[in-house]
């Protein structure tokens, strides 16, 4: 046992000795490993910033880009090295070059002597950075030539590269583009938020690496920059739209104004403009927007009660969010008469009407025990289907909706995408799903009012997408804002093809509707929109807001050019125009006309019709294409008929008579916060609230019956139940 | 050596003070190194609680407990512990079974090595450490009873079974501890046995196995003898530079630390590698930080100190009053020697990476408490040595 123990001890000794030798051989690489360790220290956390992807318009104009900026970094550890022999010279350099506060820098050196990274100034531009380099160069030269007595080098100051998000056009398409956080890592609002994953890249890295000989090498793993978005927006069209929106709100004013310009053939959005655009380079600047109180009430997100409870700080935050919001996709409202097109299209498509019917309008129709008036209290007389649209006759539309029935009507609301997300590539899209009737809940009066676009809510983009589907022959495309994603070299990463969601109507129905819209501008309520030389379609809309009888309206206008094969669709909606008589839709019509007049030639859409009278001189090739005027020629007969019709419709007011809907007092008390802005809750796609209000609001819609009863006088006066006059 | 004599009637009792001093020195040195290697990361991680001293405080607490235990154990005649041999063995096996197959086992860093209260995720101790003490005691007991027939096949098989059961239970989750436990058993048997050839055969078999693993690792994996991650470690061992970010990272960073230390090191507290580069620097890899800060010189001194300690064990074992005492100390000696050698071998990438702590130095509460208990046993044996003056 003794010997064995000694043997074991010797074995242990030998092994430990062998390991010591191994240790010695490892330590023999002394210098090399020292370098590696040192390099690891300096490289480990060195990141190379990526560049956030740009956002371009359809022609390559940069809507959102980046600027290279520099952060000034102090390295106190290095500055204080060697007993601080370079301390004074370095501080001098900083103070003299940039005029920094000497005390502050000395303070940093004293309090953080072992730190290697103190960010002293952020986001300096190229010139400001160069100032320092030049200063140091001159200083060193002076030292060499003996011009200066100063000793010591400038050390421990370096510049870190970064990118700063810039928006060359400041406020252009602000609510659509959105903005990104200052460091460009996350998008807030708009396309910046929706496409954040595509826009962000991956940071690169600089690090020490060991090759086969275990010598260290400096390796740079480059950053992968974010992808660039090529949008469908057209900067010029957008500018024109914003110009008129801003001009209108400066001169006349409104609660809100929205414009959408779209290519109906593929759902590409060319422009989307609204009130209160803000500077994307300084999104918290509210100086150009409406006052805070006005912003808060703008889209009805907050009830007055809620606003009163807010602190000043909350008010400001909420107002800012309202300002940033894209009202064209996030706010809902009652569309009014622009939606009549869909009522007629549905009836035609389902064969409930043939298009040859005529209806007698006596100024009101008794539905479900109430008299619902036409905007023309005197009555329009006998109208064809086309003429009901031209004159925007509520009575005619009620007859048509009766022919359809609630089931067909609601089914087609679904087909046209109401109450659903359009799928547009923007965040926070509202659907207003809770503000639509289902076929079971829909009473006769609800159907009647729905037929002319009251008592249910839509977003602007829903109306635009649904119109586009009729104008292009029945294809409902997802409206979209981005058509291509490309990488920094310009190679295509993803092509965003038009997404066909469904067929809405057949070609024949689409043709009928296009013609009816054309006739509306030719000889109906849309005449004021007509631009000489252009064959265009259009439809007015005037929707009375809740609570009824307050004389508050949303006026709107849709138009398409050219009428036979529309390449441009425009939708203008003005919420509560600041005029004596809000129900006059000419406000929207005029803006629409002004915008079209400027953008049509730009979009290479030229007049196709001969311009009458003296004006001919200024237009030239209009006659060339004359022969192709299908809508005009095809419907010439009907046009005559319209002329021969004793009723001429021209008043652009088409709201149904207020009488039927006034005295809504009860309803108001029940739903005070729904008030005049049913969209308030519908738009915020945040859980419970929207669901609740969705149920509440149809009840609102059911109020007309109750109120109507109180209006027995009006009932008697009205002509009651006139059956549709069939031809 | 500074052996001090105690007077007790006619015969004087011996007490190995040089071993005691070595133990105390190693423990204090360990505390300093734990603080040096862990303070930076602890300050970051436990900024809101203990801060930089987090690991050191906990180690000091365990150490204090262990030290008191050691002194008490050393003052009791080691024959008294014979009565606990069977009990200790059974308890350690039961605890291992509980850890392996019931919710008493708690997983840390992907290995189920901790005994704790089910559901609380609060761990109490690592039973593998208990197994080491219990097995040393049980084997010393068994061998001293059976020493007359020690080379009979039946006895060999019996001893093998005694050693194999805990080894198997430990090895499923903790390869390195399993190797240590079995190594201890082999050494104890080797010392008691009168034969030599069979040990040569065992060594040859182990060497052959290592060779097969290196040459035919892939086949062994497909046969299920070797696990994937184990083979991977072998590849990493052969060329750690090829896996700088995966398996080789720890070893590679340890090598940089050793290499950059040079002959006299960067000075205590000046390690750069402990700033988050060497993972768990206060644990398995603490030897590399010692090399970096104290250089080859410091590391050499530490190795010499361990060697001195082993030599003290040998002396105690040789002079032990009976075989039981001798075997007890041999087991303890084997434990310390194997663990020190394996730890340094891992840190220098001489063998594939496996988690082995450096006795007395590395951070680990249950490890230090059981280690101090073992030291108590060794001192207790030394205390029974008598001599006349």
Q: Indicate the angle between helix axes A126-145 and A87-98, nearest 10 degrees.
A: 130
Alpha carbons B216 and B210: distance in angstroms, whole number: 10
A3 touches chain B (CB under 8 A): no
Alpha carbons A613 and A616: distance in angstroms, whole number: 6
Q: How far B256 CA sits from the closest chain A CA (Å)?
A: 5
Report CA Rg, chain B: 21
Contact B296 A27 (CB under 8 A): yes
Report the Cα–Cα distance between both ends of chain B, in Å, rounded: 17
Maximum Cα–Cα distance across chain A: 133
Question: CA torsion angle for A16, A18, A24, A26 (degrees, to 10)?
Answer: -100
Nearest CA-CA partner of B355 in B369, B338, B343: B343
Contacts of B258 in chain A (CB under 8 A): 23, 26-27, 33
Tell me how many residue pairs between chain A and chain B have CB atoms under 8 A apart.
102
Number of helices (H), then strands (E), in chain A: 28, 25
Contact B258 A9 (CB under 8 A): no
Residue of B244, B262, B314 lying closest to A27 (CB–CB)? B262
Half-sphere exposure of A438 (CA within 13 A, CB side): 6
Contacts of A214 in chain B (CB under 8 A): 241
Using DSSP, state whether A608 is helix, strand or coil. coil
Q: What is the pLDDT of residue B121?
A: 66
Contacts of A29 in chain B (CB under 8 A): 259
Instruction: Residue B71: count other Cβ atoms within 10 Å of its Cβ.
Output: 14
Question: Is residue A165 within 8 Å of A184, Cβ to Cβ?
Answer: yes
Mean pLDDT, each 10-residue run in order, chain A (727 residues) = 86 92 81 70 62 92 90 86 84 89 89 82 87 88 81 84 88 92 82 92 67 50 88 95 94 92 95 92 85 83 84 89 92 93 94 91 88 88 92 92 93 94 92 89 91 93 95 94 91 91 94 94 90 92 86 92 93 92 87 94 86 45 40 37 35 39 36 40 38 39 38 38 38
The chain B residue lying nearest A215, using CA atoms, is B241
Contact A210 B241 (CB under 8 A): yes
Question: Is residue A245 within 8 Å of A142, Cβ to Cβ?
Answer: no
Distances (CA, A) of A268 to A172, A210, A493, B131, B147: 18, 52, 19, 75, 95
Reported as a single tens digit per residue, the pLDDT across B158-209 is 999 999 999 999 888 888 899 999 999 999 998 888 887 888 888 898 899 8
Contact B191 A1 (CB under 8 A): yes
Question: Cα angle vertex B98, ends B97, B100, to 5°?
Answer: 65
Give DSSP secondary structure letters for B342-388: HHHHHHTTSS-----PPTTTS--HHHHHHHHHHHHHHHHHHHT-EE-
Using the CB atoms, write b or e for A523-543: b if 16+ within 10 Å: bbbbbbbbbbbbbbbbbbbbb
**Phi, psi angle pair for A557, to nearest 5°:** -150, 135
Question: Domains along chain A?
Answer: 44-81+117-129+158-231 (3.90.1310.10), 328-480+498-550+618-717 (3.40.710.10)
Contacts of B262 in chain A (CB under 8 A): 27, 30, 34
A617 touches chain B (CB under 8 A): no
Alpha carbons A605 and A596: distance in angstroms, whole number: 10
**Interface probe with A: pick from B259, B303, B307, B341, most Cβ of A within 10 Å:** B259
Residue of A6, A15, A26 lying closest to B258 (CB–CB)? A26
Report the Cα–Cα distance between both ends of chain A, in Å, rounded: 127
Contact B344 A19 (CB under 8 A): yes
Using DSSP, state whether B50 is helix, strand or coil. coil
Alpha carbons A381 and A363: distance in angstroms, whole number: 8
Alpha carbons B257 and A37: distance in angstroms, whole number: 8
Reported as a single tens digit per residue, the pLDDT across B337-368 is 999 999 999 999 888 888 889 999 999 888 99
Contact A26 B259 (CB under 8 A): yes
Contact A2 B318 (CB under 8 A): yes
A14 touches chain B (CB under 8 A): no
Q: H or E segment at A161? A: strand A157-166
The chain A residue lying nearest B333, using CA atoms, is A9
Q: What is the pLDDT of residue B214?
A: 80
Burial of B83 (0-12, 13-18, 19+ CB in 10 A): exposed
A217 touches chain B (CB under 8 A): no
Residue of B273, B317, B345 lying closest to A19 (CB–CB)? B345
* Contacts with B238 (C-beta within 8 Å, 6 or more apart), sequence order: none
Question: Is residue B272 within 8 Å of A39, Cβ to Cβ?
Answer: no
Q: H or E segment at A372? A: strand A370-373
Q: What is the pLDDT of residue A633?
A: 39
Contact A1 B192 (CB under 8 A): yes
Q: H or E segment at B5? A: strand B4-7
Give DSSP secondary structure letters for A557-594: EEEEESSSS-SEEEEEEEEEESSS-TT-THHHHHHHHH
Quickly list H helices, A416-478. 444-451, 460-471
Residue of B272, B277, B348 lying closest to A22 (CB–CB)? B348
Alpha carbons A468 and A486: distance in angstroms, whole number: 27
Q: What is the pLDDT of residue A154?
A: 86
Contact B258 A36 (CB under 8 A): no
* Contacts with A208 (C-beta within 8 Å, 6 or more apart), sequence order: A36, A39, A40, A42, A43, A216, A217, A218, A219
Using DSSP, state whether B136 is helix, strand or coil. helix
Q: Which residues pair with A361 in a beta bridge?
A: A381
Nearest CA-CA partner of A272 in A305, A238, A304, A300: A238
Reported as a single tens digit per residue, the pLDDT across B253-301 is 888 888 888 888 888 888 888 877 787 788 888 999 999 899 999 999 9
Q: Name residues 151-210 of chain A within 8 A of B (Cβ).
A: 210
A21 touches chain B (CB under 8 A): no
A22 touches chain B (CB under 8 A): yes
Can you tell me which residue has the tokens 């403009």?
A273
The chain A residue lying nearest B255, using CA atoms, is A26
Contact B344 A9 (CB under 8 A): no
The pLDDT mean for chain B works out to 86
Residue of B187, B277, B350 lying closest to A22 (CB–CB)? B350
Question: Could you write out the three-class secondary structure of A73-89?
Answer: EECHHHHCHHHHCCHHH
A37 touches chain B (CB under 8 A): yes
**Phi, psi angle pair for A483, to nearest 5°:** -110, -15
The chain A residue lying nearest B340, using CA atoms, is A16
Alpha carbons A701 and B378: distance in angstroms, whole number: 94
DSSP classification of residue A222:
P
């Amino acid at each position: 046992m003794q010997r064995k123990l000694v043997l074991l001890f010797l074995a242990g000794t030998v092994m430990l000795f062998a390991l010591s030798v191994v240790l010695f051989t490892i330590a023999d690489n002394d210098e090399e490993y020292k370098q590696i360790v040192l390099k690891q220290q300096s490289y480990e956390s060195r990141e190379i910033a990526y560049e956030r992807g740009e956002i371009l318009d359809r022609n390559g104009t940069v809507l959102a880009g980046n600027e290279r900026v520099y952060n000034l970094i102090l390295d106190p550890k290095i500055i204080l090295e060697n007993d601080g022999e370079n301390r004074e010279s370095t501080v001098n350099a900083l103070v003299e070059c940039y005029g920094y506060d000497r005390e502050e820098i000395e303070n940093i050196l004293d309090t953080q002597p072992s730190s290697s990274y103190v960010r002293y100034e952020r986001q300096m531009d190229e010139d400001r950075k160069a100032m320092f380099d030049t200063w140091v160069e001159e200083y060193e030269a002076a030292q060499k030539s003996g011009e200066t007595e100063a000793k010591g080098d400038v050390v421990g100051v370096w510049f870190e590269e970064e990118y700063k998000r810039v928006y060359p056009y400041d406020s252009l398409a602000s609510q659509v583009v959105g903005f990104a956080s200052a460091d460009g890592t996350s998008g807030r609002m708009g396309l910046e938020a929706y496409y954040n994953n595509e826009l962000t890249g991956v940071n690169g890295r600089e690090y020490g690496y060991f090759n086969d000989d275990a010598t260290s090498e400096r390796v740079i793993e480059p950053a992968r920059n974010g992808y660039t978005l090529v949008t469908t927006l057209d900067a010029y069209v957008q500018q024109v739209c914003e110009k008129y929106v801003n001009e209108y709100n400066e001169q006349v004013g409104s609660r809100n104004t929205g414009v959408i310009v779209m290519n109906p053939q593929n759902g590409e959005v060319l422009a989307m403009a609204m009130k209160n655009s803000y500077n994307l380079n300084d999104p918290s600047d509210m100086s150009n927007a409406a006052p805070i109180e006005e912003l808060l009430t703008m889209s009805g997100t907050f009830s007055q009660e809620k606003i009163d409870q807010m602190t000043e700080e909350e008010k400001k935050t909420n107002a800012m969010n309202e300002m940033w919001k894209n009202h064209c996709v996030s706010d809902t409202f009652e569309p009014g008469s622009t939606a009549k097109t869909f009522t007629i299209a549905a009836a035609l498509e389902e064969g409930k009407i043939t298009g040859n019917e005529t209806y007698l309008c006596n100024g009101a129709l008794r539905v479900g025990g109430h008299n619902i008036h036409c905007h023309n209290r005197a009555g329009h007389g006998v109208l064809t289907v086309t003429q009901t649209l031209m004159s925007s006759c509520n009575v005619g539309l009620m007859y048509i909706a009766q022919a359809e029935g609630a089931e067909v009507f609601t089914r087609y609301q679904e087909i046209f995408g109401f109450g659903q997300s359009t799928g547009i590539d923007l965040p926070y899209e509202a659907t207003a799903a809770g503000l639509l009737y289902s076929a079971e809940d829909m009473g006769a009066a609800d159907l009647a009012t729905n037929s002319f676009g009251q008592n249910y809510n839509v977003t602007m983009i829903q109306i635009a997408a649904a119109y586009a589907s009729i104008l292009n022959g029945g294809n409902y495309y997802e409206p979209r804002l981005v058509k291509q994603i490309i990488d920094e070299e310009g190679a295509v990463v993803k092509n965003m093809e038009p997404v066909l969601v469904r067929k809405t109507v057949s070609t024949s129905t689409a043709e009928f509707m296009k013609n009816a819209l054309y006739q509306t501008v030719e000889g109906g309520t849309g005449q004021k929109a007509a631009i000489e030389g252009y064959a265009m379609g259009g439809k007015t809309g005037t929707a009375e807001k809740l609570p009824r009888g307050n004389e508050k309206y949303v006026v709107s206008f849709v138009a398409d050019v050219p009428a036979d094969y529309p390449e441009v669709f425009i939708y203008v909606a003005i919420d509560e125009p600041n005029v004596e008589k809000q129900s006059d839709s000419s406000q929207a019509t005029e803006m629409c006309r002004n915008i079209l007049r400027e953008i049509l030639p730009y979009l290479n859409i030229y007049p196709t019709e001969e311009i009458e009278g003296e004006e001919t001189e200024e237009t030239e090739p209009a006659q060339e294409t004359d022969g192709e005027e299908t809508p005009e020629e095809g419907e010439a007969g009907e046009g005559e008929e319209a002329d021969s019709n004793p009723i001429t419709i021209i008043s652009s007011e088409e709201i149904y008579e207020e009488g039927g809907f006034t005295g809504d007092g009860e309803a108001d008390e029940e739903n005070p916060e729904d008030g005049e802005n049913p969209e308030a809750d519908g738009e915020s796609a945040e859980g419970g609230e929207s669901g609740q209000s969705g149920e509440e609001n149809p009840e609102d819609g059911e109020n007309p019956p109750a109120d109507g009863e109180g209006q027995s006088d009006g009932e008697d006066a009205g002509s009651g139940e006139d059956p549709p006059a069939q031809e | 050596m500074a052996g001090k004599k105690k007077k007790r009637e006619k015969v004087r009792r011996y007490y190995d003070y040089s071993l005691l001093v070595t133990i105390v020195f190693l423990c204090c040195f360990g505390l300093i190194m734990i603080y040096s290697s862990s303070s930076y990361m602890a300050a970051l991680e436990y900024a809101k609680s203990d801060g930089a001293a987090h690991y050191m405080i906990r180690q000091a607490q365990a150490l204090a407990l262990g030290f008191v235990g050691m002194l008490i154990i050393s003052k009791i005649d080691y024959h008294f512990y014979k009565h606990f041999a069977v009990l200790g063995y059974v308890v350690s096996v039961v605890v291992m079974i509980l850890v392996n197959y019931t919710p008493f086992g708690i997983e840390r860093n992907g290995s189920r090595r901790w005994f704790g209260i089910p559901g609380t995720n609060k761990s109490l101790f690592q039973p593998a450490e208990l197994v080491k003490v219990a097995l040393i005691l049980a084997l010393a007991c068994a061998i001293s009873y059976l020493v007359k027939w020690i080379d009979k096949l039946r006895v060999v098989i019996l001893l093998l079974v005694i050693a194999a059961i805990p080894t198997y239970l430990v090895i499923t989750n903790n390869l390195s501890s399993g190797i240590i436990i079995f190594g201890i058993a082999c050494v104890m048997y080797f010392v008691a046995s009168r034969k030599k050839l069979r040990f040569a055969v065992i060594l040859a078999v182990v060497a052959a196995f290592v060779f097969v693993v290196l040459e035919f690792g892939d086949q062994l994996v497909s046969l299920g003898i070797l696990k994937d991650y184990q083979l991977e470690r072998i590849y990493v061992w052969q060329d750690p530079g090829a896996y700088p970010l995966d398996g080789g990272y720890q070893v590679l960073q340890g090598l940089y630390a050793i290499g950059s230390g040079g002959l006299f090191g960067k000075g205590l507290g000046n390690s750069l590698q402990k700033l988050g580069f060497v993972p768990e620097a206060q644990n398995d890899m603490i030897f590399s930080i010692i090399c970096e800060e104290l250089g080859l010189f410091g590391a050499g001194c530490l190795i010499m100190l361990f060697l001195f300690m082993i030599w003290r064990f040998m002396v105690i074992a040789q002079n032990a009053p009976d075989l039981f005492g001798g075997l007890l100390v041999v087991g303890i000696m084997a434990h310390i020697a194997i663990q020190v050698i394996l730890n340094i071998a891992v840190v220098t990438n001489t063998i594939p990476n496996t988690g082995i702590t450096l006795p007395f130095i590395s951070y680990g509460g249950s490890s230090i408490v059981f280690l101090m208990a073992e030291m108590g046993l060794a001192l207790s044996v030394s205390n029974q040595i008598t001599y006349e003056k």
